[in-house]
Amino acid sequence: MGDRIFASAKSEKARSGLAASAERNAPALLATDGLSIRFGGHAAVDGVSCRFPPGTLTAIVGPNGAGKTTYFNLISGQLRASSGEVWLNGERITHLPPSARARRGIGRAFQLTNLFPNLSVLENVRLAIQARSKPGFSLLRLADDATEILEQAFAVLGRVHLENRANIAAAALSHGDQRKLEVAILLAMQPRIFMFDEPTAGMSVDEVPVLLDLIEAIKAERQHTILLVEHKMDVVRRLADRIVVLHQGRLVAEGDPASVVNLPIVREAYLGRSALS
Ligand SMILES: Nc1ncnc2c1ncn2[C@@H]1O[C@H](COP(=O)(O)OP(=O)(O)OP(=O)(O)O)[C@@H](O)[C@H]1O
Ligand SMILES: [Mg+2]
Protein backbone atom coordinates (compact mmCIF):
# COMPACT_ATOMS: atom_id res chain seq x y z
CA MET A 1 0.00 0.00 0.00
CA GLY A 2 2.74 2.41 1.03
CA ASP A 3 4.72 1.39 -2.04
CA ARG A 4 1.76 2.09 -4.25
CA ILE A 5 1.31 5.58 -2.90
CA PHE A 6 5.02 6.23 -3.31
CA ALA A 7 5.01 4.91 -6.86
CA SER A 8 2.00 6.98 -7.84
CA ALA A 9 3.49 10.12 -6.24
CA LYS A 10 6.65 9.58 -8.27
CA SER A 11 4.79 9.05 -11.51
CA GLU A 12 2.63 12.11 -10.80
CA LYS A 13 5.79 14.16 -10.53
CA ALA A 14 7.19 12.67 -13.70
CA ARG A 15 4.18 13.56 -15.80
CA SER A 16 4.36 16.68 -17.90
CA GLY A 17 2.34 19.65 -16.66
CA LEU A 18 0.19 19.45 -19.78
CA ALA A 19 -0.68 15.80 -19.33
CA ALA A 20 -1.39 16.33 -15.64
CA SER A 21 -3.69 19.23 -16.37
CA ALA A 22 -5.44 17.33 -19.18
CA GLU A 23 -6.04 14.53 -16.72
CA ARG A 24 -7.27 16.89 -14.04
CA ASN A 25 -9.76 18.30 -16.53
CA ALA A 26 -11.02 14.91 -17.65
CA PRO A 27 -14.35 13.98 -16.15
CA ALA A 28 -13.92 11.16 -13.66
CA LEU A 29 -15.75 7.91 -13.37
CA LEU A 30 -17.13 7.36 -9.91
CA ALA A 31 -18.77 4.11 -8.89
CA THR A 32 -19.93 2.27 -5.80
CA ASP A 33 -20.22 -1.45 -5.51
CA GLY A 34 -22.43 -3.07 -2.89
CA LEU A 35 -21.83 -0.09 -0.62
CA SER A 36 -23.33 -0.51 2.85
CA ILE A 37 -23.15 0.97 6.30
CA ARG A 38 -24.90 -0.24 9.40
CA PHE A 39 -25.62 1.81 12.48
CA GLY A 40 -26.33 -0.76 15.17
CA GLY A 41 -28.66 -3.18 13.47
CA HIS A 42 -29.94 -0.63 10.97
CA ALA A 43 -28.58 -0.51 7.40
CA ALA A 44 -28.68 3.19 6.48
CA VAL A 45 -27.13 2.41 3.09
CA ASP A 46 -27.71 -1.11 1.95
CA GLY A 47 -25.75 -2.65 -0.92
CA VAL A 48 -25.83 0.31 -3.29
CA SER A 49 -24.12 -0.40 -6.62
CA CYS A 50 -24.12 2.54 -8.99
CA ARG A 51 -21.97 4.11 -11.70
CA PHE A 52 -21.91 7.84 -12.24
CA PRO A 53 -21.15 8.43 -15.93
CA PRO A 54 -18.41 11.03 -16.50
CA GLY A 55 -19.63 14.46 -17.50
CA THR A 56 -23.19 13.88 -16.34
CA LEU A 57 -25.39 15.10 -13.52
CA THR A 58 -27.08 12.41 -11.46
CA ALA A 59 -29.84 13.42 -9.06
CA ILE A 60 -30.21 11.24 -5.99
CA VAL A 61 -33.74 11.34 -4.66
CA GLY A 62 -35.77 9.58 -2.03
CA PRO A 63 -37.82 10.30 1.08
CA ASN A 64 -36.39 11.65 4.32
CA GLY A 65 -34.13 9.11 5.95
CA ALA A 66 -33.62 7.16 2.70
CA GLY A 67 -29.85 7.27 3.13
CA LYS A 68 -28.92 9.99 0.62
CA THR A 69 -26.66 12.02 2.90
CA THR A 70 -25.17 8.85 4.37
CA TYR A 71 -24.38 7.65 0.83
CA PHE A 72 -22.65 10.99 0.17
CA ASN A 73 -20.69 10.58 3.42
CA LEU A 74 -19.52 7.15 2.31
CA ILE A 75 -18.36 8.53 -1.06
CA SER A 76 -16.57 11.58 0.33
CA GLY A 77 -15.11 9.61 3.23
CA GLN A 78 -16.80 11.19 6.26
CA LEU A 79 -18.10 7.70 6.99
CA ARG A 80 -16.39 4.37 6.39
CA ALA A 81 -18.37 1.60 4.75
CA SER A 82 -19.29 -1.54 6.67
CA SER A 83 -18.95 -3.38 3.36
CA GLY A 84 -18.71 -2.69 -0.36
CA GLU A 85 -16.41 -0.40 -2.31
CA VAL A 86 -16.06 3.12 -3.69
CA TRP A 87 -14.12 3.48 -6.96
CA LEU A 88 -12.70 6.53 -8.64
CA ASN A 89 -11.20 6.04 -12.08
CA GLY A 90 -10.47 2.42 -11.36
CA GLU A 91 -8.84 3.11 -8.00
CA ARG A 92 -10.42 1.65 -4.89
CA ILE A 93 -10.77 4.60 -2.51
CA THR A 94 -13.07 2.95 0.05
CA HIS A 95 -10.60 3.16 2.91
CA LEU A 96 -9.04 6.53 2.17
CA PRO A 97 -9.68 9.46 4.52
CA PRO A 98 -11.69 12.45 3.23
CA SER A 99 -8.55 14.53 2.60
CA ALA A 100 -7.07 11.89 0.28
CA ARG A 101 -10.34 11.59 -1.59
CA ALA A 102 -10.48 15.39 -1.94
CA ARG A 103 -6.96 15.35 -3.39
CA ARG A 104 -8.15 12.86 -5.97
CA GLY A 105 -10.86 15.28 -7.01
CA ILE A 106 -13.92 14.53 -4.92
CA GLY A 107 -15.36 17.92 -4.08
CA ARG A 108 -18.21 18.23 -1.68
CA ALA A 109 -20.09 21.34 -0.66
CA PHE A 110 -20.77 21.26 3.04
CA GLN A 111 -23.27 23.54 4.57
CA LEU A 112 -21.00 26.40 5.57
CA THR A 113 -18.39 24.27 7.29
CA ASN A 114 -15.84 24.91 4.53
CA LEU A 115 -15.78 28.63 5.23
CA PHE A 116 -13.40 30.67 7.36
CA PRO A 117 -15.97 33.11 8.76
CA ASN A 118 -13.50 35.81 9.85
CA LEU A 119 -11.62 35.91 6.58
CA SER A 120 -12.82 37.93 3.62
CA VAL A 121 -14.66 36.36 0.73
CA LEU A 122 -11.55 36.85 -1.40
CA GLU A 123 -9.22 35.27 1.17
CA ASN A 124 -11.49 32.25 1.41
CA VAL A 125 -11.24 31.69 -2.33
CA ARG A 126 -7.50 32.44 -2.44
CA LEU A 127 -6.85 29.82 0.23
CA ALA A 128 -8.78 27.26 -1.78
CA ILE A 129 -6.75 28.05 -4.90
CA GLN A 130 -3.50 27.88 -2.94
CA ALA A 131 -4.53 24.59 -1.38
CA ARG A 132 -4.65 22.97 -4.80
CA SER A 133 -1.55 24.73 -6.17
CA LYS A 134 1.65 22.89 -6.89
CA PRO A 135 3.82 22.15 -3.89
CA GLY A 136 7.28 23.70 -3.56
CA PHE A 137 8.29 27.26 -2.95
CA SER A 138 10.17 29.61 -5.21
CA LEU A 139 10.75 33.25 -4.39
CA LEU A 140 11.00 34.06 -8.10
CA ARG A 141 7.62 32.51 -8.76
CA LEU A 142 5.95 34.16 -5.80
CA ALA A 143 4.99 37.51 -7.36
CA ASP A 144 3.71 35.89 -10.54
CA ASP A 145 1.73 33.38 -8.53
CA ALA A 146 0.19 36.05 -6.31
CA THR A 147 -1.11 37.95 -9.35
CA GLU A 148 -2.32 34.79 -11.02
CA ILE A 149 -4.06 33.58 -7.89
CA LEU A 150 -5.78 36.94 -7.48
CA GLU A 151 -6.98 36.82 -11.09
CA GLN A 152 -8.24 33.28 -10.66
CA ALA A 153 -9.96 34.21 -7.40
CA PHE A 154 -11.83 37.08 -9.04
CA ALA A 155 -12.76 34.89 -11.99
CA VAL A 156 -14.29 32.35 -9.61
CA LEU A 157 -16.06 35.07 -7.61
CA GLY A 158 -17.44 36.41 -10.89
CA ARG A 159 -18.96 33.04 -11.68
CA VAL A 160 -20.95 33.12 -8.44
CA HIS A 161 -21.67 36.86 -8.65
CA LEU A 162 -19.76 37.71 -5.49
CA GLU A 163 -17.01 39.88 -6.98
CA ASN A 164 -18.56 42.95 -5.34
CA ARG A 165 -18.43 41.29 -1.94
CA ALA A 166 -14.75 40.31 -2.18
CA ASN A 167 -13.51 42.31 0.79
CA ILE A 168 -16.15 41.66 3.36
CA ALA A 169 -15.91 38.91 5.96
CA ALA A 170 -17.54 35.62 5.02
CA ALA A 171 -19.54 35.78 8.25
CA ALA A 172 -21.14 39.04 7.16
CA LEU A 173 -22.66 37.53 4.01
CA SER A 174 -26.31 36.61 3.79
CA HIS A 175 -27.05 32.91 4.06
CA GLY A 176 -27.56 32.65 0.31
CA ASP A 177 -24.30 34.44 -0.44
CA GLN A 178 -22.48 32.12 1.96
CA ARG A 179 -23.79 29.16 -0.02
CA LYS A 180 -22.53 30.81 -3.18
CA LEU A 181 -19.15 31.36 -1.56
CA GLU A 182 -19.10 27.72 -0.67
CA VAL A 183 -19.61 26.83 -4.32
CA ALA A 184 -16.89 29.34 -5.24
CA ILE A 185 -14.49 27.55 -2.87
CA LEU A 186 -15.43 24.27 -4.46
CA LEU A 187 -14.87 25.70 -7.96
CA ALA A 188 -11.51 27.09 -6.84
CA MET A 189 -10.39 23.64 -5.79
CA GLN A 190 -11.18 22.33 -9.29
CA PRO A 191 -12.60 18.97 -8.28
CA ARG A 192 -13.55 16.37 -10.87
CA ILE A 193 -16.59 15.27 -8.87
CA PHE A 194 -19.04 17.82 -7.50
CA MET A 195 -21.36 16.68 -4.73
CA PHE A 196 -24.25 18.91 -3.72
CA ASP A 197 -26.56 17.87 -0.88
CA GLU A 198 -29.70 20.01 -1.06
CA PRO A 199 -27.75 23.06 -2.19
CA THR A 200 -30.71 25.42 -2.15
CA ALA A 201 -31.93 24.46 1.32
CA GLY A 202 -32.43 27.54 3.46
CA MET A 203 -32.01 29.93 0.55
CA SER A 204 -34.53 32.68 -0.08
CA VAL A 205 -36.65 32.28 -3.19
CA ASP A 206 -34.84 35.03 -5.10
CA GLU A 207 -31.42 33.51 -4.37
CA VAL A 208 -32.24 30.02 -5.66
CA PRO A 209 -32.11 30.72 -9.43
CA VAL A 210 -28.52 32.00 -9.30
CA LEU A 211 -27.32 28.83 -7.64
CA LEU A 212 -29.27 26.58 -9.99
CA ASP A 213 -27.92 28.50 -13.00
CA LEU A 214 -24.44 27.97 -11.64
CA ILE A 215 -24.88 24.22 -11.22
CA GLU A 216 -26.36 24.11 -14.70
CA ALA A 217 -23.35 26.00 -16.08
CA ILE A 218 -20.94 23.56 -14.41
CA LYS A 219 -22.92 20.71 -15.90
CA ALA A 220 -22.93 22.31 -19.36
CA GLU A 221 -19.13 22.19 -19.43
CA ARG A 222 -19.42 18.39 -19.30
CA GLN A 223 -16.07 18.31 -17.55
CA HIS A 224 -17.38 17.15 -14.22
CA THR A 225 -19.30 14.31 -12.72
CA ILE A 226 -22.01 15.88 -10.60
CA LEU A 227 -24.08 14.27 -7.85
CA LEU A 228 -27.03 16.25 -6.59
CA VAL A 229 -29.33 15.37 -3.71
CA GLU A 230 -32.48 17.39 -4.17
CA HIS A 231 -36.03 17.17 -2.90
CA LYS A 232 -37.60 19.60 -5.35
CA MET A 233 -38.74 17.61 -8.36
CA ASP A 234 -38.82 20.64 -10.69
CA VAL A 235 -35.13 21.18 -9.97
CA VAL A 236 -34.40 17.50 -10.54
CA ARG A 237 -36.26 17.53 -13.85
CA ARG A 238 -34.41 20.61 -14.99
CA LEU A 239 -30.89 19.52 -14.09
CA ALA A 240 -30.66 15.75 -14.02
CA ASP A 241 -29.34 13.57 -16.83
CA ARG A 242 -30.09 10.57 -14.64
CA ILE A 243 -32.01 9.91 -11.48
CA VAL A 244 -31.12 7.40 -8.81
CA VAL A 245 -33.80 6.62 -6.26
CA LEU A 246 -32.90 5.48 -2.76
CA HIS A 247 -35.46 4.07 -0.40
CA GLN A 248 -34.67 2.65 3.03
CA GLY A 249 -30.99 2.58 2.12
CA ARG A 250 -31.50 0.64 -1.10
CA LEU A 251 -31.27 1.72 -4.69
CA VAL A 252 -34.78 1.02 -5.96
CA ALA A 253 -34.73 2.70 -9.39
CA GLU A 254 -32.40 4.49 -11.76
CA GLY A 255 -32.58 5.84 -15.28
CA ASP A 256 -33.37 8.93 -17.32
CA PRO A 257 -35.70 11.45 -15.67
CA ALA A 258 -38.63 10.96 -18.03
CA SER A 259 -38.91 7.26 -17.31
CA VAL A 260 -37.92 7.29 -13.64
CA VAL A 261 -40.21 9.99 -12.28
CA ASN A 262 -43.29 8.18 -13.50
CA LEU A 263 -42.45 4.77 -12.06
CA PRO A 264 -45.02 3.83 -9.41
CA ILE A 265 -42.23 2.78 -7.07
CA VAL A 266 -40.72 6.25 -7.34
CA ARG A 267 -43.95 8.10 -6.88
CA GLU A 268 -44.60 6.10 -3.75
CA ALA A 269 -41.04 6.23 -2.45
CA TYR A 270 -40.83 9.91 -3.12
CA LEU A 271 -44.01 10.57 -1.26
CA GLY A 272 -42.61 8.61 1.64
CA ARG A 273 -45.01 5.72 1.52
CA SER A 274 -43.84 2.15 1.60
CA ALA A 275 -42.65 1.35 -1.90
CA LEU A 276 -41.54 -2.15 -1.24
CA SER A 277 -44.45 -3.71 0.56
N1 LIG B 1 -24.38 8.77 12.45
C2 LIG B 1 -25.52 8.08 12.46
N3 LIG B 1 -25.83 7.22 13.46
C4 LIG B 1 -26.97 6.52 13.46
N5 LIG B 1 -27.90 6.58 12.49
C6 LIG B 1 -27.67 7.41 11.47
C7 LIG B 1 -26.47 8.20 11.39
N8 LIG B 1 -26.51 8.93 10.24
C9 LIG B 1 -27.67 8.61 9.63
N10 LIG B 1 -28.37 7.72 10.36
C11 LIG B 1 -29.66 7.11 9.99
O12 LIG B 1 -29.52 6.64 8.67
C13 LIG B 1 -30.73 6.84 7.94
C14 LIG B 1 -30.43 7.64 6.68
O15 LIG B 1 -30.18 9.00 7.04
P16 LIG B 1 -29.75 10.08 5.97
O17 LIG B 1 -29.45 11.32 6.73
O18 LIG B 1 -28.68 9.53 5.12
O19 LIG B 1 -31.07 10.25 5.12
P20 LIG B 1 -31.39 11.28 3.95
O21 LIG B 1 -31.89 10.49 2.79
O22 LIG B 1 -30.23 12.18 3.71
O23 LIG B 1 -32.60 12.09 4.57
P24 LIG B 1 -33.03 13.65 4.38
O25 LIG B 1 -33.78 13.73 3.07
O26 LIG B 1 -33.92 13.93 5.54
O27 LIG B 1 -31.79 14.50 4.39
C28 LIG B 1 -31.70 7.49 8.88
O29 LIG B 1 -32.50 6.49 9.46
C30 LIG B 1 -30.80 8.11 9.93
O31 LIG B 1 -31.45 8.23 11.15
MG1 LIG C 1 -29.92 14.23 3.86
Q: Does 180 fall in a domain?
A: yes
Please name the residue whose Cα sits nearest to atom 17 of ligand 1: 69
Cβ 167 vs Cβ 120: under 8 Å: yes
pLDDT at 27: 76
Task: Please determine, for residue 8, whether its predicted confidence score (pLDDT) is greater than 50.
Answer: no
Ligand 1 nearest atom to the CA of residue 249, by list position:
14
Alpha-carbon gap, residue 74 to 177, rounded angstroms: 28
In terms of residue numbers, what domain contains 74?
29-105+194-204+224-277
pLDDT tens digit sequence for 167-209? 999 999 998 899 899 999 999 999 999 999 998 888 888 889 9
Distance 209 CA to ligand 1 centre (A): 28
Helix or strand holding residue 186 (H, E):
helix 175-188
Nearest CA owner, ligand 1 atom 7: 39
Ligand in closest contact with the CA of 231: 1
CATH number of the domain at 92, please: 3.40.50.300
**Average pLDDT score, the chain:** 85
How many domains, in total, are found in the chain? 2
Residue 15 lies in a domain: no
Ligand number nearest CA of 44 is 1
**d(Cα 143, Cα 227) in Å, to the nearest integer?**
37
The upper half-sphere exposure of residue 187, i.e. CA atoms within 13 Å in the direction of its Cβ, equals 23
Same domain for 138 and 200, yes or no, is no
Question: Tell me: the pLDDT tens digits for 39-98?
Answer: 998 999 999 999 999 999 999 999 999 999 999 999 999 999 999 999 999 999 999 999
- Give the pLDDT score at 195: 96
pTM of the model: 0.85
Percent of the chain whose predicted confidence (pLDDT) is above 90: 61
Residue 9: inside a domain: no
Closest ligand 1 atom, CA of 40? 4
Report the pLDDT value the prediction gives residue 136, as an integer from 0 to 100. Answer: 59
Judgement on whether residues 39 and 175 belong to the same structural domain of the protein:
no
pLDDT of 16: 47
In a domain? residue 19? no
In terms of average pLDDT, the best of 18-27, 144-153, 267-276 is 144-153
C-alpha–C-alpha distance, residues 261 and 62, integer Å? 11
pLDDT at 80: 96
Last residue of a domain, one of 148, 168, 190: 190
Taking residues 127-151, what's their average pLDDT?
A: 74
User: What's the confidence (pLDDT) of residue 144?
Assistant: 64
- Tell me, yes or no, whether 37 and 99 share the same domain: yes
